[in-house]
Amino acid sequence: MQQASRLIASLACGLAIVSTACDSSTASSSQLPSMDLGTGVDIGADIAVAADVAECAFGQQFTIDATQLQNAYFPIHPGREWQLEGKKGSDFIQLTITVLNATQDIGGVTTRVIEERETVNDTVVEVSQNYFAENIAGAVCYFGEDVTIYLPGGGTSSEGTWRAGDVSPTDPDTRFHPGIIMPGDPSFKMSFQMEGAPGIAEDEGRIAGGGPVKVPAGAYTETLRVREFNPLDGHIGFKSYAKGVGLIIDGEVELTSCTVSCPILAASVASEAAPPIVFNTQLRSEIEVPACATESEGLAQIMVLQDGTIQSVVILNNKGNESVRFGHIHHLIPPATTGPVVWWLSSPVGTDLNLTDRHIDIRQAGIYSTTNGHFATAEAALAELLANPGDFYVNFHSDLCPGGFARGFLP
Q: Quick one: pLDDT band at residue 375, thresholds 50, 70, 90?
A: very high
Do residues 318 and 324 make contact, with C-beta atoms less than 8 angstroms apart?
yes
Q: Is the bond into 335 cis (omega within 30 degrees of 0)?
A: yes
Most confident of 93-107, 214-228, 377-391: 93-107
Kindly report the backbone phi and psi dihedral angles of residue 191, in degrees, each rounded to the nearest multiple of 5, phi listed first: -110, 155
Percent of the chain residues past pLDDT 90, beyond the cut: 54
| pLDDT on residue 260 | 61
Threshold 0.75, pTM exceeds: no
CATH 1.20.272 fits 264-409, yes or no: no
CA distance 300 to 410: 9
Give the mean model confidence (pLDDT) for residues 326-351: 92
| 269-295 average pLDDT score | 76
Yes or no: say if 391 and 333 are a contact pair by the CB < 8 Å rule: yes
pLDDT tens figures, 302-333: 988 877 889 898 988 888 788 999 999 999 99
Residue 43 — very low, low, confident or very high, per pLDDT cuts 50/70/90? very low
**Residues counted in the chain:** 411
pLDDT at 249: 95
**If pLDDT is split at 50, 70 and 90, which confidence band does 233 have?**
very high
**Cis bond upstream, residue 348 (ω within 30):** yes
- First-to-final CA distance of the chain: 28
Integer Cα distance of 359 and 333 in angstroms: 32
Residue 290, helix vs strand vs coil: coil
Could you give the residue range(s) of every CATH 2.60.40 domain in the chain?
Answer: 264-409
Main-chain phi, psi angles of 104, to 5 degrees? -140, 130
Residue by residue, DSSP assigns 367-409 as EE-TT-SS-SSHHHHHHHHHH-GGGEEEEEEESS-TT-SEEEE
Inform me whether the pLDDT recorded for 37 exceeds 50: no
SS3 92: strand
CA distance 78 to 96: 14
Q: What is the pLDDT of residue 108?
A: 97
Strands (E), 318-358: 324-331, 341-344
For the stretch 172-183, pLDDT in tens is: 999 999 999 999
Higher-pLDDT residue of 264 and 165 is 165
The lowest-confidence range among 71-85, 95-109, 263-277, 393-407 is 263-277
Residues 193, 222 contacting (CB under 8 angstroms): no
Q: What is the mean pLDDT of residues 228-244?
A: 93
Q: Compute the average pLDDT of residues 130-156.
A: 96
Residue 159 has pLDDT above 90, yes or no: yes
Query: Nearest to residue 283, comparing CAs of 406, 372, 373, 138?
Result: 406
